[in-house]
Amino acid sequence: MILSGQTIERMIRRDQILITPFKEQSIQPASVDLCLGDHFLIVDEMSTPVLSSRKSANYHEMYISEGEVMTIPPKTFMLATTLEQIRLPNELTAFVEGRSSIGRLGVFIQNAGWIDPGFAGQITLELFNANRVPVQLIVGMRVCQLVIAEVDQTTGGYDGKYLFQKGATSSRVYLDREAEKS
């Protein structure tokens, strides 16, 4: 069952769900909006001519202050982060959806995947400007929404390679057991 905005707000106030910083105006009917953080990664094409599941890529790292503009060039992919840090209890899961208003600018906000019960940290966002012109987003603006749902039973909680991540975090697929066997 997907949680209502009222239930999400109540659970935040009772410290059952952690979202910091939290803004009351972020609560939506069945989700909570999250904002664009200040850390961005773009693949360094000179030192990383191919992306591989066997090793980490090299990235250009950028920090842009809250309230400043991040320009995404046409047909460009980059990693970003949410401003907020979250923590889910072991009986809740979540997923991230891009806000429709941002999608209508031609920016796809793919999410970090399913947010497992017990996850804690900032959420890495995959941004892609599908437009033919640059798109400007303001650091700190609402860009996505966290939809939270109950799982049918309490789990052991997430214990994976992205637990407690801070900032835009590049792929760690090379740490998967399957990658070792390839």
Catalytic site includes residue 126: yes
Q: Are strands 92-98 and 59-63 parallel, antiparallel or unpaired?
A: unpaired
Say which DSSP state 12 is in: H
Phi, psi angle pair for 93, to nearest 5°: -130, 170
Q: What angle do CA 152, 28, 88 make, to 5 degrees?
A: 40
pLDDT tens track for 131-181: 999 999 999 999 999 999 999 998 899 998 889 999 998 888 888 866 455
Q: Whole-angstrom Cα distance, residue 30 to residue 23?
A: 16
> Which domains does the chain show, CATH number per domain?
5-48+57-165 (2.70.40.10)
Q: Which of 126, 150, 178, 180 is catalytic?
A: 126
Residue segments in the chain with a per-residue pLDDT below the cut of 70? 111-113, 177-182
Using an 8 Å Cβ cutoff, are 79 and 124 in contact?
Answer: yes
Write the burial class of residue 145 (CB in 10 Å: 0-12 exposed, 13-18 middle, 19+ buried): buried
pLDDT value of residue 111: 58
Distances (CA, A) of 91 to 2, 11, 16, 165: 12, 12, 10, 21
Measured between alpha carbons, how far is 115 from 108 in angstroms, rounded to an integer? 18
Distances in Å between the Cα of 131 and the Cα atoms of 4, 96, 113, 138, 141 are 33, 22, 23, 17, 20
Assess contact for 84 and 20: CB atoms under 8 A.
Answer: yes
Q: Are 32 and 19 in contact (CB under 8 A)?
A: yes
Q: Would you state the pLDDT for residue 178? A: 60
